[in-house]
Chain A
């Protein structure tokens, strides 16, 4: 199975900060990577698919990059609504697996 590792596990930041989350795959997954945002008590929301493609309706301050085994999610200017937990997920082959999550907290 392909393992996904995110860093950091927790990130403290202020409104307006540029935030970067890293996700590493245990083997190459090409660009078959998605990013989700989850707020407490809610279902995850798809932000980015195929590593860098923004899902419809997602603000332009979110962006994704990378291929192979290393990927990043960047929030260019953190907004109050962005404080949440973020997960990466590969979909190269079954079983799909998620990273362990990165919680973005208010500094």
Chain B
């Protein structure tokens, strides 16, 4: 069965960096584009970024463009989100998600807290 497991969250100071990982299993990872979605505490869902199946195309939300980088290693079945110049506004649970058409499988999420 499809499994997505995020890791790498934690507490980080404003202005610092953090890299999230999402390890996939149960499907042919290299055949699917992958997404990151986040949810600030007590707030709604915000789409963050998408990467094509081969990593050649990437699209970002305006709120993270230029600071976050989505990437993947198909040999390791792993999706990444490099987050630089973090601000308190980036505090959220970060989910990776796999689409068939839309987001039909989600990981459990990893919490990122940006605080001094």
User: Is B a genuine binding partner of A?
Assistant: yes
Interface residue ranges, A against B (CB under 8 Å): 1, 34, 36, 38, 42-46, 49-50, 55, 87, 89, 91, 94-101
Contacts of B60 in A (CB 8 A): 95
CB pairs A–B below 8 angstroms (19 shown): A42-B108, A43-B95, A44-B45, A44-B103, A46-B102, A49-B101, A49-B104, A50-B101, A55-B104, A89-B45, A89-B102, A89-B103, A91-B102, A95-B60, A95-B61, A96-B50, A98-B45, A101-B44, A101-B45
B103 near A46: Cβ-Cβ < 8 Å: yes
Contacts of B47 in A (CB 8 A): 89, 95-98
Beyond A49-B101, A95-B60, 10 additional contacts (C-beta under 8 Å) are A45-B106, A55-B104, A87-B45, A89-B47, A89-B103, A91-B101, A95-B47, A96-B47, A98-B45, A100-B44
Q: Is B62 an interface residue (CB 8 A)?
A: yes
User: How many contacting A-B pairs (Cβ < 8 A)?
Assistant: 51
Q: Summarize B's interface: helix, strand, loop or mixed.
A: strand
Looking across the interface, which residue of chain A has its beta carbon closest to that of B100?
Answer: A49
B62 near A1: Cβ-Cβ < 8 Å: yes
Q: Summarize A's interface: helix, strand, loop or mixed.
A: loop
Would you give the shortest CB distance from B91 to chain A, in whole angstroms?
16
Chain B 82-116 near chain A by CB (<8 Å), digits 1 or 0:
00000000000001000001111011110000000
Would you give the shortest CB distance from A24 to chain B, in whole angstroms?
15
B44 near A43: Cβ-Cβ < 8 Å: no
Q: Is B59 an interface residue (CB 8 A)?
A: yes
Bound Cα distance from A101 to B42, whole angstroms: 11
